[in-house]
Amino acid sequence: MSKFTIGEDFYLDGRPFKILSGAIHYFRVPKASWYHSLYNLKALGFNTVETYVPWNRHESKEGEYDFSKNLDLDAFLTMAQELGLYAIVRPSPYICAEWEFGGLPAWLIEKQVKVRSDDPKFLAYVERYYKVLLPKLAKHQLEQGGNILMFQVENEYGSYGENKRYLRALKKLMEENGLSAPFFTSDGAWQATMRAGSLIDDDVLVTGNFGSKAKLNFARMRSFFQQHGKKWPLMSMEFWDGWFNRWKEPMIRRDPEELADSVMEVLEEGSINLYMFHGGTNFGFMNGASARRDRDLPQVTSYDYDAILDEAGNPSPKFYALQKRLKVAYPDLDYKEPLVKESMALADISLKRKVTLKDTLAHLSTSRESFYPQNMEALGQATGYIFYRTRLPRDHEEERLRVIDARDRIHVFLDDQKVATQYQDEIGADIMIKQETSDSRIDILVENMGRVTYGHKLEASTQSKGLGRGLMADLHFVGGWEQYPLPLDNIEKISYEGQWQEGLPSFYEFEFDCQSPKDTYIDLSSFGKGVVFINGYHLGRFWQVGPTLSLYLPGVLIKKGRNIITVFETEGIYHNRLSLKNHPIYKEMEGENL
């Protein structure tokens, strides 16, 4: 069996080894497309694939584990090995990755634990998860005939805390569950974060995360090593070749030639992991959000990242620019032409059926009643929407309503008429209503737009979603609630026998025939805000504010023959025709370069 060791250099079977790695998140790419992405990584000339492991996908419901289909980590690692790729795996409980709650499962919120700490309750949940996950990884270690070179203990912990007991507890759990390959931490490449986030005195390799100025960042890392008497190889564990995107912000782009220059600067002194090589898609409700003081900023569904491969997995101009430079500097690497998938377009897909949410609500969800409204997690729900309903007697000719502590975005309806839409920094503002009857119905649709992934708000106590403290009329809280969880994890239950009413959140069903499925993009520029499904598979969110106005539809999700696209739209903005494009659609916004 081969052996990977870390000394003054990386060594593979006793010979110096430069790690040329690219990040591909198996959970962001359909399983049927893994080969395409991994092949293109190998074709670039690289030798290693890196991936996070998202706890909240593998244990989305407490005690229930899923390693099937797109979550089949075992199959992903096996496929990479068959293609001649080594692997770096990052199974830390927290991953950031612009992923819902940084990979932490939402059910932790009700457990009153301190995440990313040595809180015994938190570590007990981690241990239970690791007893399932880590044996699956152990058998893929290099010394056991697999391809895993090393494992991450925690992710950018120096940008969050400095609890060494916690880090050591994670390392111990990994060792107790069969991991023996070298461990590493990854942090920003400056003194404060490396000091706080590393286990350098425990001989755990320190790696750096940055996207430019390699000489400066490596000099800082080398100085940190010297302070602790270490002579270690230098590695950028996340070399950011692009960046993620958020709603209402322009697309971020990076010049391919400048990126190639920066990568070659890294390789002059050390090893690299391109973050991302293939970004993929935040399918479903799995986008995260950036923490801000007044409002959090959710990321878009596309995780294209302006990476080496585009969202569909095809080579971007960066692939060719970088491969050209690598061929000159490292002519003996195994280069190949990349695989390129075809795409398709289809116009005028007709609307077949539509129904207002309130008229199919009883088919999609079961009412949970309580005097005070319950949050999403208390109702056993992690992501999606919740529909709240109560009655309001008329006390005044004009009534003042306020919604307190709801997260993240709300629509308020009075007797089936929308009276307000509010986001985080607006929630709590006055909503003035005039009731036409002595007893009115108030409905509130609350959307969880994604939990934060990074920073000071990454705490179980701050990331609860739903109605929060409730609704105030005049100066008192209103009681007597019906609550309908809407995770939208099974839309087969939608009934189109109900009514449709203009301006209300509704479902729209479109049908098309396809005899030769290929990748495509659903044009949603004529719709307001919501989510889309293809044959019941949740593709993710859309929003007309941009920067993206389309959703990537992988060809592997399209059936030969009849296909159903279902759109859930919340703003009352829709069109009776849909189109598929052979390219993504973006909203023109200023400042679209990195």
Enter the tokens of residue 165.
Answer: 């007991």
DSSP assignment of 93-117, as one string? S---TTBGGGG--GGGGGGT--SSS
Q: Cα 48–51–57 angle (5° rounding)?
A: 155
Q: Name residues whose C-beta falls within 8 Å of residue 450's C-beta, 6 or more positions apart in sequence.
A: 100, 285, 287, 288, 289, 296, 298, 299, 408
CA distances from 112 to 167, 463, 480 (A): 20, 12, 26
CB 298 within 8 A of CB 450: yes
Q: What is the DSSP string of 297-329?
A: EEBPSB--TT-SB-TTSPBPHHHHHHHHHHHHH
**Residue in 59, 98, 238, 399 annotated catalytic:** 238
List C-alpha distances in Å: 91 to 126, 202, 262, 478.
Answer: 11, 19, 28, 44
Q: Which residues contact 243 (CB under 8 A, 6 or more apart)?
A: 211, 252, 254, 305, 306, 594
94: which 2 tokens?
């927290």
Q: Which residues pair with 343 in a beta bridge?
A: 519
Assess whether 509 carries a catalytic annotation: no
Tokens at 6, concatenated: 């870390």
Report the alpha-carbon distance of residue 39 to residue 36 in Å, rounded: 5
Residue 215: count of CB within 10 angstroms of its CB:
11
156 noted as active-site residue: yes
Closest listed residue to residue 49, CA positions, set 206, 322, 305, 277: 277
- Alpha helix (H) ranges present in 16-111? 34-44, 55-58, 73-82
- For 350-387, the DSSP string reads EEEEEEEHHHHHHHH---EEESSPPBTTTTT--SEEEE
Residue 413 falls in which region: left (phi positive, over 0), alpha (psi -120 to 50) or beta: beta
Distance CA 65, CA 58 (A): 5
Structure tokens that stand for 292 in this block: 């801000």
How far does Cα 430 stand from its chain's mean position? Answer: 34
* Amino acid in position 367: S
Q: How far apart are CA 498 and CA 500, in angstroms?
A: 7
Q: Would you say the C-alpha torsion 404, 407, 409, 411 has a positive or negative sign?
A: negative
Please choose, from the candidates 542, 552, 23, 557, the residue with its C-alpha nearest in 3D space to the C-alpha of residue 276: 23
Distance CA 539, CA 202 (A): 43
Return the structure tokens found at 121.
């309750």
Say if residue 408 is preceded by a cis peptide, omega within 30 of 0. Answer: yes
d(CA 382, CA 476) in angstroms, rounded, equals 29
> CB neighbours (10 Å) of residue 241?
27
Q: Which of 98, 100, 154, 156 is catalytic?
A: 156
Active-site amino acid positions: 156, 238
